[in-house]
Structure 1
């Protein structure tokens, strides 16, 4: 009787292991969902939709985009972590959500341990935009304006601890200014406020800014990186203008999922994403809208980028004494 019970237990255990391995092997056999921790039309949303289209073609399953904006991206990350860890709920995010915001907002998760970075996809350079009525055309003009203006103005951000927030505070200290920080729910709403003159400045991504600059709805004062942007060659880099501290202001974008997801699924997802990142069509598509395409060298690369930025940004945020 005892032997029979042990055999039965072993048989059940073997069946369970087989079922789990078969389930992972069959992945994906139903639609996938990509959680975007930002509003529609924003930086992360744009690349998530492009990637989602390519992923659907690659896997033969439909991919749904689920925008969960708010709290500097924490709502979206938490939504991904709260879903079943079966590899069907993914997260497309930028490094800012995982490496900057947590230093200020204190999320209910560890961004380095509770989120599994799968693959980096692209990099987005930053550009400092000014309201159309601001009497400045470059960084020198901004310095001159802030020296004489009675109203020092304000700068916007998608939330405390985000790159635009940090950028504005660094600018305050560099220029000895006292511009007010105004947080918004996301980049789209902040840009609307900028165009209408409700705020003075905003550190945006080049991706979201090119059409606004070309039509004169905002003024571009400087761009990060070591070279000018081909779509806006008239805009000098920060380094050219004597502001090297903004040269590396950029965001990495990539794919993540729950660390509890089956390893086989994570490996398949990375392999599919690698094929997409190596696709000339995908690279041409995202480069055409202002991203710098990146091909992941390993499944750990995005995690290493996030960890490095987490440490660097933490030191900077503590030095600036940023608060929610």
Structure 2
């Protein structure tokens, strides 16, 4: 004789099975891929790996960093968008990929609609560097050298549409010269080109250039921001030398996901990221690399910051008449 279960018990057992199934597939239930749109050792890659280590510890799953360079970050963004939108593929990126480069290198997606910002994690400043034996030692000397031969200078960038690119064009306009823009596939090759004197100057992140300045392999003429960089206290700011337009010239780094990622999982990712951002050990590691750690306030605020940068740089590009 077969045993018969009451209807109420069968409903309860069914609910338990469904709940168990839901928990089994809750984010994250396997390794997480963290895509980075820069080469290993680049300005985005360094803090991304710090974040990946802490994230892995917090979620109890491996976090694998995957570098996808090229096309101004579009290849990395597309890889994230092509992956299942289940939160197991995240993009750690710079503001340039979302808000600046798309104005000069049109991507196959809308950076303001097809990407969901989750959390801002770090900021960094910039430094104008030249070869150690370049005749100028400050911005006045640089202006003198460039104006002596207005069409002979050149400046490097890690991609069209980056702050390095815009900074060089801003100096062209300010000084009335015609330096040639020479883009490279990332900061490391741009630095190699500068040290081998293939280009005149490079406005690079302090993170990647400061060690070379301290080692005597590059000479720094100015840093962005309203105060001097503690790692290079001898280098004056642009503003100190009469270039206040570089006061707010810097980059922002953070994580973004597909807008199709479930809202509950986005909330979990944000919560664990905010927890990491507040850890003294994490902040110390980020600071030692030359970044300013940021405690994210909300995904909405990060999205507003990205939108504001996108709008502002769009206006700047129109002013400079730069074409995609």
CA RMSD of aligned residues (A): 1.9
Q: Please tell me whether residue 146 in structure 1 is matched to residue 142 in structure 2.
A: no
| Deviation of 1:147 (Å) | 2.1
**Greater CA drift, 297-306 or 243-252:** 297-306
Provide the residue aligned with 2:273 in structure 1.
273
Cα–Cα, structure 1 residues 150 and 255, in superposed 2: closer, same or farther, change >3 Å?
closer
Deviations 1:102-128, CA, capped at 9 Å, x for gaps: 111111111111100000001011111
| Deviation of 1:321 (Å) | 1.6
Provide the residue aligned with 1:230 in structure 2.
230
Q: Tell me the TM-score normalized by structure 2.
A: 0.92
Contact 2:150 2:179 in 1 (8 A): no
Provide the residue aligned with 1:159 in structure 2.
159
Q: Please tell me whether residue 284 in structure 1 is matched to residue 284 in structure 2.
A: yes
Cα distance in 1, alignment partners of residues 53 and 33 from structure 2: 12
The higher radius of gyration belongs to 2
Gaps of 5+ in 1: 1-10
Q: Please tell me whether residue 248 in structure 1 is matched to residue 262 in structure 2.
A: no
Cα–Cα, structure 1 residues 304 and 72, in superposed 2: closer, same or farther, change >3 Å?
same
Cα distance in 1, alignment partners of residues 19 and 106 from structure 2: 39
Gaps of 5+ in 2: 1-10
Secondary structure of 1:43's partner? coil
Aligned residue runs from structure 1 range 100-139, under 5 A: 100-139=100-139
Cα–Cα, structure 1 residues 162 and 280, in superposed 2: closer, same or farther, change >3 Å?
same
Provide the residue aligned with 1:8 in structure 2.
none
Aligned length: 311
Cα distance in 2, alignment partners of residues 212 and 304 from structure 1: 35
Aligned residue runs from structure 1 range 19-34, under 5 A: 22=22, 26-34=26-34
| Deviation of 1:99 (Å) | 0.3
| Deviation of 1:228 (Å) | 0.5
Cα distance in 1, alignment partners of residues 25 and 312 from structure 2: 39
Cα–Cα, structure 1 residues 119 and 65, in superposed 2: closer, same or farther, change >3 Å?
same
Provide the residue aligned with 1:215 in structure 2.
215
Contact 1:161 1:322 in 2 (8 A): no
Contact 1:31 1:63 in 2 (8 A): yes
Cα distance in 2, alignment partners of residues 276 and 184 from structure 1: 33
Secondary structure of 1:118's partner? strand
Cα distance in 2, alignment partners of residues 20 and 146 from structure 1: 69
Deviations 1:149-193, CA, capped at 9 Å, x for gaps: 476221011221111111100110100111100010001110111
Provide the residue aligned with 2:205 in structure 1.
205
Secondary structure of 1:101's partner? helix
| Deviation of 1:23 (Å) | 5.7
Cα distance in 2, alignment partners of residues 58 and 206 from structure 1: 29
Contact 1:124 1:291 in 2 (8 A): yes
Cα–Cα, structure 1 residues 286 and 75, in superposed 2: closer, same or farther, change >3 Å?
same
Q: Please tell me whether residue 310 in structure 1 is matched to residue 279 in structure 2.
A: no
Secondary structure of 2:236's partner? coil
Deviations 1:45-87, CA, capped at 9 Å, x for gaps: 0111010001001111111011111111111111110111110
